[in-house]
Structure 1
Amino acid sequence: MKKTRTRYAPALLFVVLGTGVALGACSRENRALGESPRSDVNRALQSLADARCDRAMRCNQIGGGQRYASRDACVQSVRRDEREDINLYECAGGIDQKELSECLSEINTADCDSAFDALSQMAACRSSDMCLH
């Protein structure tokens, strides 16, 4: 009986290790090869700031007497606000690129005065969806 267990032990070990590697690969399938979570998060923050500030420009929210004095002020403000939810602590595994793309698409297609579009953005841009843990 002892020989039977010993004979199957290497095969069982191979299956267990193979499953662990496969599961680990699946959790990071949305991150480019060689990307670190830090660069993933920084790139996501910049993409979100660019998209939100492009929308602010389109909607005349940047300039004298507007919400933001300049595009740079907009980018700094958005990055600061987004960093509260999208950071290395919350997104330790990086960013789900599919979810980020959905969020950016919602921002880019949103009308300036639509409350419905604002709600759609909130739903599409949840950090709980974009962050890989």
Structure 2
Amino acid sequence: MNARISLVALALASFFIATGCERRDVPTSETHTTGAAIGPALDNAAAVASVALARCDREASCSKLGEGRDHPTRESCLTEMRGKAEGDLNASKCPGGVNRASLDSCLAEIHAESCGNPLDTLERLAACNTSALCSRDRRPGGAPRY
């Protein structure tokens, strides 16, 4: 009898180890207040990095990187753009993180923006302002609203 209980306990332990028993505080998708799935939230730091990279890619494609230009190096561009994005996408303005689908739209708009149009702030692009990017369906602290 004890051997059978030990065998069952071992089988259950093996099952949980094999399938993973990881707790996740961030759900894989959010539900908008209308009930429609809007995709997973991205943490603020990852969104800031993505926006900075996209903006510096645009600066490079518009010949604004290099000695005597707006940004002497790519690293100086990234530092400046991270600082600007952090002001818009910080945890106090976007406590639930950034909506991934909205961020993808913003990044596409950054890449598509004409070199003749100054991109001094994210807010200038409709898809990139905080009201469009910030995940509205989560409370501060990461807990989903029900």
TM-score normalised over the length of structure 1: 0.67
Kept in 1, the 8 Å contact 2:62–2:115? The answer is yes
Change (3 A) 1:120 1:46: closer
Percent identity over paired residues:
33
Bigger share in helix: 1
Matches within 5 A, 1:31-50: 31=40, 40-50=43-53
Change (3 A) 1:132 1:74: same
Structure 2, unmatched stretches of 5+, are 1-28, 137-146
TM-score normalised over the length of structure 2: 0.61
3-state secondary structure, aligned to 2:45: helix
Displacement of 1:94 in angstroms is 1.1
3-state secondary structure, aligned to 1:84: helix
Cα RMSD (Å): 2.6
Aligned residue among 76, 81, 85 for 2:84: 81
Matches within 5 A, 1:17-36: 25-27=30-32, 30-31=39-40
Change (3 A) 1:112 1:81: same
Matches within 5 A, 1:1-133: 25-27=30-32, 30-31=39-40, 40-114=43-117, 122-133=125-136
Kept in 2, the 8 Å contact 1:31–1:96? The answer is yes
Kept in 2, the 8 Å contact 1:94–1:131? The answer is yes
Aligned length: 102
In structure 2, how many angstroms separate the alpha carbons of the residues matched to 1:84 and 1:42? 11
In structure 1, how many angstroms separate the alpha carbons of the residues matched to 2:74 and 2:39? 30
In structure 2, how many angstroms separate the alpha carbons of the residues matched to 1:131 and 1:70? 30
Kept in 1, the 8 Å contact 2:89–2:134? The answer is yes
Change (3 A) 1:29 1:111: closer
Bigger share in strand: 2
